[in-house]
Structure 1
């Protein structure tokens, strides 16, 4: 069983290790979102997000038979960052919800260890973040993903997100040939 909660301050290094492992496991796979070690998500960004209370993690219960496949004793299986910081380019989105930046939650680096794909953990994680945003009085949750991320897009759409546009050359520093899809979940 998975419990979704905010990461504790003492789990910052476990969160960094989780993303390091996800980057390694995604490389070259059909779900590779092109994250780079020490660049995106950077360890400094991850540590700061944990310290700010912006990191949500999916933690396997100790009695889960798959707990040993998680990241060591931490049992972290998935994670995301949720804050109000939109990436440059979000102003181009054809957003359905009229909201000021502080009225919107933005999801970043949503990921699950490959050993746990297909178990609904990412859906639980995203759903819990939507619930947390709603409880915080936000008007919408937004995110972006590469148009080539079929798994992620399917997940977001199944959680109530709507694609509000696809934009070429959105992240020039990653790969200027990839288009980015912007998503919004009205609350």
Structure 2
């Protein structure tokens, strides 16, 4: 399986992948709290594709195994975080909407996807990869910590799908 940069022609497949994964993932309402149309949205996926930041792993049969947005800079929401590394926005990659097909969860696909994002970030000469995860999303947090990400801070942010909720922010120095 190779991480593939999504194009506009992949939009329908990716949107259907996210819709299916959100509806079929066990405990989605407990851990990630995604509600398709609120998070993630068609616009979010389109935007990441348009900017060249949307990627997916494809299985041998052509089905999508995982998808992720790897954005080559951080946004304003990360400016007030006490990161370990003092970096400019464009020295950082930020991970969003990492998702694994329900039938492939707990098989190392998320770790493989993240390792490739980390590798791509290094190849792009980024100095860190950053991300946020819901504090209650213990499976995702275990994954990030197993890959060497350090917990840097917590924030209480408002999202359309979860309301006011606690997030943990992570950083991996490259």
Provide TM-score, normalisation by structure 1.
0.84
Q: Which secondary structure does the structure 1 equivalent of 2:97 belong to?
A: strand
Contact (CA 8 Å) 1:27, 1:34: kept in 2 or not? no
Contact (CA 8 Å) 1:4, 1:56: kept in 2 or not? yes
Number of the residue aligned with 1:66: none
Residue 32 of structure 1 deviates from its aligned partner by 3.4
Counterpart check, 1:78 vs 2:77? no
* Aligned counterparts, 1:26-41, within 5 A: 26=25, 28-29=27-28, 32-41=31-40
Alignment RMSD (CA, Å): 1.9
Cα distance between partner residues in 2 of 1:172 and 1:48: 18
Residue 94 of structure 1 deviates from its aligned partner by 1.9
State how many pairs are aligned: 174
Residue 179 of structure 1 deviates from its aligned partner by 0.9
Match of 1:183 among 166, 170, 173: 170
Cα distance between partner residues in 2 of 1:87 and 1:31: 27
Provide TM-score, normalisation by structure 2.
0.90
Unaligned runs of 5+ in 1: 63-73
1:34-68 CA deviation, whole Å, 9 max, x = no partner?
Answer: 12222221102202212321111111013xxxxxx
Closer/same/farther in 2, CA of residues 15 and 126 from structure 1, 3 Å limit: same
Residue 176 of structure 1 deviates from its aligned partner by 4.5
Structure showing the higher strand proportion among its residues = 2
Contact (CA 8 Å) 1:56, 1:125: kept in 2 or not? no
Residue 174 of structure 1 deviates from its aligned partner by 4.0
